[in-house]
Each structure stands twice: as structure tokens, then as C-alpha cells.
């Protein structure tokens, strides 16, 4: 049976895809939303640390699975390795309705104005494709606001003097600090810094018919047992479905775009839940499959009009893969600090986000999400014993007496950090898999050195008797904050989409996920991705309203 | 294994296991296998128990063995850690060979200090004896250590940490109690 033609299809029900499905179906377009995973709830995986989305040693509770999925990684020595979703090198986000927004830590950052004008602010960076976005913070401001109100954010931006200007406050009051944040707050103030509560996509009070957070230790990496965490799965996706215009097809793996003889993109082909092949046609095709899977889909879609993949005429699809150089420091204390008030991270500073002498960009610093017992067993100062009596004693003594201060350093985009498709290796549906290669730009190490030094200084001021820094290596970045692989731009020769996310050279293909990011800010990216979902969606909806059918 | 494919042996095994599910594991000889274990032999289990107790020694709280390390490893080797089966097989065999080469005795009958220095040699990759062909001693030790930690500090549903013993040791309640200050700090 042939599937009914629809106005728009969206690939991926994550942060960006969930939002745009809601915008389009609310505007009256008929929509099919494809998701390769299913619905996953707290009851499926409980508080299980070993397969949480943060500590994936026994698998990813929120997908994908190790049986059907794999990727190829080119190591820096040139060797090739096959990796699975539970390996860090796979660079996973998730695969379920809501994707990362089900199990995320839910920090809800707006970027700052400078994050959209990195090249203008800091000048050219040798060896980096650093550039300005084709849109500004002011363009996106109302989209941030929609994300904050329609999905739900708790915070108080008035306490952050560096926050970009906003028209409307958050819909919910901020969360109270836990004990480690209280300790850090006074230390930061003594240092002349400006601490404030982290804006969170979690209900601090009942909101949108869902209850207030009960502050558990298992939040980041887990689903919320009471639905107090706000993701696309419990906000915009249900809103899309309730219009009656949107059909969500779960467990459907989109394998390629379909292209007719004239070079027009007509829809997608996909494998349904029974692994049967089907097609779906649509006037508009929106890809929101994440910064690693979106370029894979474009590159796997070839025809005589698109010999190297859709949108890839100038070889920019899959380029500039970036994430965040997460860096910071640990501190040990003489007294108990752990008060088991989840999710741990409650306080941040934005003093070092920009305009740091000699540094391009910077990042926020925040206290970290609760370090659960297994994760903590791998946290030790340099040269400490990693097993035996000393290790056990350390675990007992310091589980309740440590603080971690960390932040995402803005990375310099690097053209040769990239997603390709592997010529040989396929997933269990026979689709060529993602092939990752490249490494961080050298500048990122300077940002890490700088920011981890600040983290250490704060911990010392807070009374830590022992501190040590942690800095990521120079290898490939991406991870849960992956972005940048189909950047937007005004020049089709050095970008993949226009400023509204439309793929150059195709009238009806749009992208609406982290792939669009020209740069990734010194902030966790989810709220910006959601804002881009509104940005691209509003553009399509208003053009549709004017009668544009994108053909 | 396809020539020149650039894939390591471990990858090939993982691939084969993924592709067909038919790659059966063939141990070098057929050691005695009780009904207690799915993958391990009794000899393997005895050795792993002693190693687990060096990685997390018993004191007023359980050691690695008592807290279910062997059960955890055996269960995972029949589940998500199927892909580490060959590492375990060759690693355990190399450990046994290295131990009899170096001390003329089984690991289990060494004094705790000897066991620790043997494990430290493994950890640093300096252990030459034993013919580490399948997996390096350093890599195997890191794997063992990590899996014992997972067993000890992870959820009991995977075979280790019965009754959340390690949570009790750390003073964190399970199931978590919400809305009250359990521990006056
Ligand atoms: C544990 C964890 C903690 C995090 N914490 C934070 C945080 O505190 N703050 C923050 O800002 N960010 C956080 N993130 C990151 C955030 O979740 C991601 O940045 C965000 O989800 C990415 O959005 P996206 O739309 O680009 O892709 P995704 O949200 O990953 O959406 C892509 C969707 O497409 C689906 N898909 C892919 N390929 C196909 C296909 N071929 N066919 C059908 N469907 C497909 C995927 O299954 C997925 O559901 C966290 C992530 C994790 C995992
Ligand atoms: S901390 Fe709050 S939002 Fe997070 S899982 Fe617990 S109740 Fe849900």
C-alpha cells in the first residue's frame, strides 16, 4: 500500500525535529514525523547507572542499540576501527522519541550575541573555518522565548549580568541551590564573579499540566519518573499530535531521500518496524536527525544530479564537526558536601564566556551533575591508585566530599573534522554507516587551559584542600553536543543551507537540527537547537501561508 | 579475516558476532563447567574471585568477590559483553600461564603482596610472561578493573552489588527517599 502524500515530512523526533513538527502541524500542514527509535520511559530503565545515557558501559538506555548500529572511526594514526553506540568513540546522542531531550541534564542556555558573530568579534583564526552565522542573536531572540515558554524553562536571568538581552523572563522561578552550589556561590562572590542559578528545562513549579521536580540524584542520563523534565517528547511532540495533522512513525529508519528524473527531491525511503521498505512522499522534506546522522542521510542520497550527495556540490556536507571541549577541575574537601539534592548542577557563571585576554571565546562554568558511585570510581587525582585498599578508602571518604566545576569551551570549527559515509561498512539494514575522522583545532587547548584554571581557582577559594584539573585530549570532538556539519550561510560555496535552513540547490529540503550551527557557543546547545526548529519552522509556515509550495 | 581491510581482529570478531549471531566461542580445551556459570568455568571463576578481592579488598565492607563481581562478569559475558569473550578467554589463560611461569604456582595461592605486584605488572603492561597474544596485559587488567568496579558500584539487576551494599557503604540510601533530609550534615 502506498503512503498518502503529505505536505511535510520530518526525519528525527529529537530537539530540532520535535519543535519543527509542532510548528508545521500547528500551521495546518499535514506532517509525518519519522523516528528510528521508540517511546522510552523511566520504567524501562529505572535508576540504572550502568546503562544510563551518561555512563553507557552496558548500553544506551535511550538508544541506539549495539546490535544493529555501528560506525567507523579513523584514528589519528590512520587506523580504522568499528565502534558501537556504547563506545564513547561512536559519538552518540540518542535514538528515541525526544532523543537527547529525554535523558539530558536539561541546562537551557541561550547563546550570547558574540556567539553568532565569532569572526567579527575575534577575527580570523588560522586553520579554522570560524565564521559568523548568517543570522544574529536578535533574529533568534523570539525563538528562544518560544522554546522557553512552550517547552518550559526555570531560571532568573537578572542575576547574570552577561546574559544576552531578552524581552520576557523565564516562565518558571529558578531552582534553589544545593549545598555545593551554596559553597561555590560565596567563593565566587569573594572572587568578584557573578554566580546565578542555571536555567533548566525542568519544572521548578507545576507547569503545562506536569508536576514540579522532586530533585533526584539520577536526572542527567535518565528519564524523569514524574515527567518534571521538559523535552520535546512531553511538550511539542504531543502538541503536534494533538493538532490531528501530524503522524509520528516510530521505529522507522530513513535510509535516503528519493530523487526523481528531473532532480527534484520527492520524499524518503525508509525501513518500517518490520524492516520492510516503504516510501513517503512530501512537498517539503525536513532533516533533523542530529549532526552526525543528518549529513549521513544527505551523503547517502545520490543521483546524477547529486553525484556526491544532496547539498554537497561544494563538499561542505559533514564538514566542521564540533562539540565542546568540556573542561574543569575537581576539589576535595574536609567536610561533607553531598546533600543528595539532585540533579546536582544548580549554579553557573558566565564571566568567562567571552572577551578573555588571548582566548577566542570561552565558556560557562557550572557545578556538575551528581557523580554516581560507578562514575566516581573513575575520578581520582593524578597518580592516585586506581584499585586496592587506597581506592576503596578514597571512594568512602570522598564520595560525599568532592565538588566538580566544569564548562563547555567553545571549539574552533575545523574543516577536516568530518562525517563521511563508509565505503564498506553497513548497519543491519544495509545502509552505509557514518565514518568519523579529524581532531580538535589546536586553539581549543588554550581555552581549556584557561577555563580549567578558573575552575581550580574557584574550588580553592571554596576551601578545597586538594584540586586537580581535567582537560580533554586533542582528538575528534562531537559527542552529545555534536554540531556544525551542515552549516548555514549566505554563500552556497562555503555552506550547506541558507539562513532559513534550506539546502542550497534544492527548493524543498530543509535542515532543522544542530547541523546548522556555524559555531557551537560556549554553552550546552539544546535550547539553541530548539530555537532553530522554531526559526526554520516559522519560515516554512509563513511561506506556505503565502502560497509558496517550494517546487 | 578479509586481507587489508584495515580492521583489527577484535573488530572482525565483533562484526561476525553482529552479522550472524552464529559465531560460537571455542575455548582451547573443554574445562569443567558447573551449572553455576553461563560462560565461565569453575577455574575461571575462582581466579576472577581472587582478582576481584585484590581490586576491591574486603574490610568492614564486602570485597569485590563477595559483592558479586564474578556473577556480574559471567552475566555480562552472556549479554552485552559477549564481545569481550575472546579477551577474557585469552587474558585468563595468559594470566595463568604467566603465573606458573613466574612463580610456579597458581595466582590464587600467591601471597596478597605477590598478587598485587603481579597485578601491578599487568596494569603497567610490563608483564612479559604468559604470551599475551589475544589481548595485552595492560588492556586486560584495565578491563578487569573496570568490570569489577561496575559490579561493585552498579545496579544489582546486573548480577553484582546485591542489596545495593556499596550504596550502604557510601551512605546513600536506596531506594532514594524524597523530600526529607536524611543525613544531618
Ligand atoms: C545525557 C545527555 C545530557 C545532555 N545534557 C544537555 C544539557 O544539559 N543541555 C543541553 O543543552 N544539551 C544537553 N544534551 C545535548 C542535547 O540533548 C542535544 O544537543 C540535542 O538533543 C541535539 O538535538 P538535534 O535535534 O540536533 O538531534 P537529536 O536530538 O539527537 O535528534 C535526532 C533524532 O533523529 C533520529 N534519527 C536519526 N537518524 C534517523 C533516521 N535515519 N531515521 C529516523 N530517525 C532518525 C534520532 O533517533 C533522534 O531522535 C545532552 C545529551 C545527553 C545525551
Ligand atoms: S531531578 Fe527533577 S527533573 Fe530530574 S529526573 Fe528528578 S524529578 Fe525529574
Kindly list the domain boundaries of chain A, sorted by start residue. Answer: 6-545
Of residues B131 and A56, more confidently modeled: A56
Q: Which residues contact A363 (CB under 8 A, 6 or more apart)?
A: A324, A327, A352, A353, A407, A408, A409, A410, A447, A451, A522, A523
Q: Across the strands, what pairs with A197?
A: A347
Question: How far lies A347's CA from each of A5, A195, A329, A369, in Å?
Answer: 48, 7, 15, 11
Q: CB-CB: which of A48, A82, A391 is closest to B7?
A: A82
Query: What are the grid coordinates assigned to A296, written together?
Result: 549521513
Opening angle at CA A529, ends A515 and A358, nearest 5: 75
Q: What are phi and psi of A19, to 5 degrees?
A: -65, -50
Beta bridge partners of A405: A329, A367
Task: Please list, in sequence order, all residues whose beta carbon lies within 8 angstroms of the beta carbon of residue A22, skipping any fewer than 6 positions away.
Answer: A150, A236, A237, A239, A240, A246, A537
In the prediction, which pLDDT does B12 show? 40
pLDDT at B3: 37
- Higher pLDDT, residue B6 or A490: A490
Q: What is the pLDDT of residue A377?
A: 98
How far is Cα B69 from Cα B149, in angstroms, rounded to an integer?
8
Ligand number with the minimum distance to the CA of A479: 1
How far does Cα A81 stand from its chain's mean position?
24
Q: Cβ of A377 and B59 within 8 Å?
A: no
A529 Cα–ligand 1 center, Å:
9
Q: Which chain A positions have a beta carbon within 8 Å of B55's beta carbon?
A: 387-388
Could you tell me where the beta strands, DSSP code E, fall in A216-287?
Answer: 246-249, 253-259, 265-271, 277-287
pTM: 0.94
Its CATH class, for the domain covering A6-545, is alpha beta
Residue A108 Cα distances to A111, A114, A184, A210, angstroms: 10, 18, 21, 18
Residue A1's pLDDT is 66
Verify whether the Cβ–Cβ distance B179 to A214 is below 8 Å. Answer: yes
* Rounded CA separation A245/A242 (Å): 8
Q: Distance from the CA of A218 to the center of ligand 2, in angstroms?
A: 7
Which residues, judged by CB distance below 6 Å to any ligand atom, belong to the binding site of ligand 1?
A 11-17, 34-37, 53-54, 93-95, 99-101, 103-107, 220-221, 253-254, 288-291, 293, 297, 480-481, 513-514, 524-527, 529
Which residues fall within 8 angstroms of residue B151, CB to CB, at 6 or more apart? Answer: B52, B64, B67, B68, B69, B71, B72, B73, B158, B159, B160, B161
Please count the residues of chain A. Answer: 551
Given a contact cutoff of 8 angstroms between Cβ atoms, the answer to whether A152 and A172 are in contact is yes
- Residue count of chain B: 185
Cell (9 digits) for A483: 554540531
Please tell me the predicted confidence (pLDDT) of residue A11.
99
Q: Which three cell numbers stand for residue A86?
A: 556504547
**Alpha-carbon gap, residue A464 to B174, rounded angstroms:** 28
Residue B19 pLDDT exceeds 60: no
Strand order across the A418-426 sheet: A80-83, A71-74, A432-437, A418-426
Q: Which CA distances in Å does A286 have to A281, A509, A513?
A: 12, 6, 10
Protein residue whose Cα sits closest to atom 2 of ligand 1: A104
Cα separation, A146 vs A530, whole angstroms: 9
Please list the pLDDT of chain A residue by residue as tens digits (551 residues). Answer: 689 999 999 999 999 999 999 999 999 999 999 999 999 988 888 889 999 999 999 999 999 999 999 999 999 899 999 999 999 999 999 999 999 999 999 999 999 999 999 999 999 999 999 999 999 999 999 999 999 999 999 999 999 999 999 999 999 999 999 999 999 999 999 999 999 999 999 999 999 999 999 998 999 999 999 999 999 999 999 999 999 999 999 999 999 999 999 999 999 999 999 999 999 999 999 999 999 999 999 999 999 999 999 999 999 999 999 999 999 999 999 999 999 998 999 999 999 999 999 999 999 999 999 999 999 999 999 999 999 999 999 999 999 999 999 999 999 999 999 999 999 999 999 999 999 999 999 999 999 999 999 999 999 999 999 999 999 989 999 999 999 999 999 999 999 999 999 999 999 999 999 999 999 999 999 999 999 999 999 999 999 999 999 99
The residue whose CB lies within 8 Å of the most ligand 1 atoms, and thus the one to mutate among A104, A291, A517, is A104
Q: From ligand 1's centre to the CA of A100, what distance in Å? A: 4
Q: What is the DSSP letter of A50?
A: G
pLDDT of residue B31: 58
Q: Which helix (H) or strand (E) holds A435?
A: strand A432-437
Mean of pLDDT values over B37-66: 97
Domain spans of chain B?
Answer: 32-170
Q: Which is more confident, B5 or A453?
A: A453
Greatest CA separation for chain B: 64
CA distance A264 to A538: 23
Residue B132 or B169, more confident:
B169
In 3D space, the residue among A6, A135, A137 whose CA is nearest the CA of residue A544 turns out to be A6
> From CA A551, how far away is CA A12, in angstroms rounded?
23
User: Per the structure block, which three cell numbers stand in for B101?
Assistant: 611461569
> How far does A210 lie from chain B, in Å, by closest CA?
18
| Integer angstrom CA distances of residue B75 from A11, A208, B85, B158, B183 | 37, 43, 12, 7, 35
Quick check: B153 contacting A, CB < 8 Å? yes
Of the listed ligands, the closest to the CA of A270 is 1
* pLDDT at B23 exceeding the cut of 60: no
Strand positions, DSSP E, A64-137? 71-74, 80-83
HSE, CB side, 13 Å, CA atoms: give it for residue A140. 26
pLDDT band at B174 (very low <50, low <70, confident <90, very high): confident
The DSSP letter of residue A229 is B
Q: How far is A515 from chain B (nearest CA, A)?
A: 29
Q: What pLDDT was estimated at residue B178?
A: 60
Strand order in the sheet with A196-197: A196-197, A347-349, A365-367, A402-410, A324-332, A466-470
ipTM surpasses cut 0.90? yes
DSSP reduced 3-state for A382 = coil
Amino acid at each position: 500500500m502506498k503512503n498518502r502524500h503529505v505536505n511535510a515530512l520530518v526525519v528525527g523526533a529529537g530537539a530540532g525535529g520535535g519543535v519543527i513538527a509542532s510548528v508545521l502541524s500547528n500551521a495546518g500542514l499535514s506532517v509525518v514525523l519519522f523516528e528510528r527509535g521508540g517511546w522510552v520511559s523511566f520504567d524501562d530503565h529505572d535508576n540504572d547507572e550502568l546503562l544510563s545515557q551518561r555512563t553507557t558501559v552496558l548500553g544506551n538506555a535511550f538508544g541506539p542499540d549495539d546490535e544493529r548500529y555501528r560506525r567507523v572511526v579513523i584514528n589519528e594514526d590512520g587506523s580504522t576501527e568499528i565502534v558501537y553506540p556504547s563506545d564513547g568513540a561512536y559519538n552518540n546522542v540518542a535514538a528515541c522519541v525526544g532523543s537527547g531531550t529525554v535523558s539530558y541534564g536539561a541546562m537551557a542556555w541561550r547563546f550570547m550575541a558574540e556567539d553568532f558573530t565569532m569572526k567579527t568579534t575575534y577575527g580570523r583564526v588560522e586553520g579554522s573555518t570560524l565564521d559568523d552565522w548568517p543570522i544574529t542573536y536578535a533574529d533568534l531572540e523570539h525563538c528562544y522565548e518560544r522554546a522557553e515558554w512552550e517547552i518550559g524553562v526555570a531560571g532568573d536571568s537578572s542575576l547574570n549580568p552577561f546574559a544576552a538581552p531578552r524581552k520576557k523572563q523565564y516562565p518558571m522561578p529558578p531552582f534553589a541551590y544545593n549545598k555545593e552550589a551554596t559553597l561555590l556561590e560565596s567563593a565566587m562572590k569573594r572572587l568578584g564573579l557573578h554566580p546565578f542559578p542555571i536555567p533548566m528545562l525542568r519544572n521548578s513549579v507545576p507547569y503545562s499540566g506536569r508536576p514540579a521536580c522532586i530533585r533526584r540524584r539520577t536526572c542527567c542520563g535518565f528519564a524523569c519518573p514524574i515527567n518534571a523534565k521538559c523535552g520535546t517528547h512531553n511538550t511539542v511532540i504531543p502538541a503536534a499530535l494533538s493538532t490531528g495533522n501530524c503522524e509520528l512513525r516510530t521505529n522507522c529508519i530513513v535510509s535516503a531521500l528519493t530523487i526523481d528524473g528531473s532532480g527534484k527531491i520527492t520524499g524518503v525511503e525508509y525501513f518500517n518496524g518490520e524492516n520492510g521498505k516503504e516510501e513517503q512522499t512530501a512537498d517539503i522534506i525536513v532533516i533533523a536527525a542530529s549532526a552526525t546522522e543528518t549529513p549521513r542521510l544527505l551523503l547517502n542520497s545520490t543521483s546524477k544530479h547529486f553525484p556526491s550527495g544532496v547539498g554537497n556540490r561544494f563538499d561542505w556536507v559533514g564538514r566542521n564537526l564540533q562539540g565542546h571541549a568540556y573542561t574543569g577541575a575537581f576539589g576535595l574537601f574536609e567536610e561533607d558536601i553531598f546533600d543528595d539534592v539532585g540533579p546536582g548542577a544548580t549554579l553557573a557563571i558566565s564571566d568567562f564566556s567571552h572577551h578573555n585576554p588571548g582566548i577566542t571565546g570561552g565558556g560557562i562554568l557550572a557545578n556538575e551533575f551528581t557523580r554516581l558511585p560507578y562514575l566516581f570510581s573513575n575520578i581520582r587525582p593524578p597518580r592516585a591508585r586506581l584499585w586496592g585498599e587506597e581506592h576503596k578508602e578514597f571512594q568512602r571518604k570522598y564520595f560525599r566530599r568532592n565538588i566538580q566545576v566544569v564548562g563547555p569551551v567553545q571549539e574552533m570549527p575545523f574543516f577536516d573534522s568530518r562525517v563521511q559515509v563508509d565505503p564498506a561498512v553497513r548497519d543491519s539494514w544495509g545502509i552505509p554507516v557514518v565514518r568519523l575522522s579529524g581532531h580538535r583545532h589546536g586553539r581549543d587547548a588554550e581555552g581549556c587551559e584557561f577555563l580549567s584554571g578558573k575552575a581550580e581557582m574557584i574550588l580553592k577559594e571554596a576551601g578545597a584542600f586538594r584540586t586537580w584539573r581535567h582537560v580533554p585530549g586533542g582528538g575528534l570532538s562531537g559527542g552529545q553536543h555534536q554540531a556544525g556539519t551542515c552549516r548555514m550561510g549566505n554563500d552556497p560555496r562555503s555552506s550547506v543551507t541558507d539562513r532559513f535552513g534550506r539546502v542550497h540547490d534544492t527548493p524543498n529540503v530543509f535542515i532543522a537540527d544542530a547541523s546548522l550551527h556555524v559555531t557551537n557557543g560556549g554553552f550546552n546547545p539544546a535550547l539553541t537547537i530548539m530555537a532553530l526548529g522554531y526559526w526554520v519552522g516559522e519560515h516554512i509556515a509563513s511561506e506556505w501561508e503565502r502560497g509558496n509550495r517550494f517546487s | 579475516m578479509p586481507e587489508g581491510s584495515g580492521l583489527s581482529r577484535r573488530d572482525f570478531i565483533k562484526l561476525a558476532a553482529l552479522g550472524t549471531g552464529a559465531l560460537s566461542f571455542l575455548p582451547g580445551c573443554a574445562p569443567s563447567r558447573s551449572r553455576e556459570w553461563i560462560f565461565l568455568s569453575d577455574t575461571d571463576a575462582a581466579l576472577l574471585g581472587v582478582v576481584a578481592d585484590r581490586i576491591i579488598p574486603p574490610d568492614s565492607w564486602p570485597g569485590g568477590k563477595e559483592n558479586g563481581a564474578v556473577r556480574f562478569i559471567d552475566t555480562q559475558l552472556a549479554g552485552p559483553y559477549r564481545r569481550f569473550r575472546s579477551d577474557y578467554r585469552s587474558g585468563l589463560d595468559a594470566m595463568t600461564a604467566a603465573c606458573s611461569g613466574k612463580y610456579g604456582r597458581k595466582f590464587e595461592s600467591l601471597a596478597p603482596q605477590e598478587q598485587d605486584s603481579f597485578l601491578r605488572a599487568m596494569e603497567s603492561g610490563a608483564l612479559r610472561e604468559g604470551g599475551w597474544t589475544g589481548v595485552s596485559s595492560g588492556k586486560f587488567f584495565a578491563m578487569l578493573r573496570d568490570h569489577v568496579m561496575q559490579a561493585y558500584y552498579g545496579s544489582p539487576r546486573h548480577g553484582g552489588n546485591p542489596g545495593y551494599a556499596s550504596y550502604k557503604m557510601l551512605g546513600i540510601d536506596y531506594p532514594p527517599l524524597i523530600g526529607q533530609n536524611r543525613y544531618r550534615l
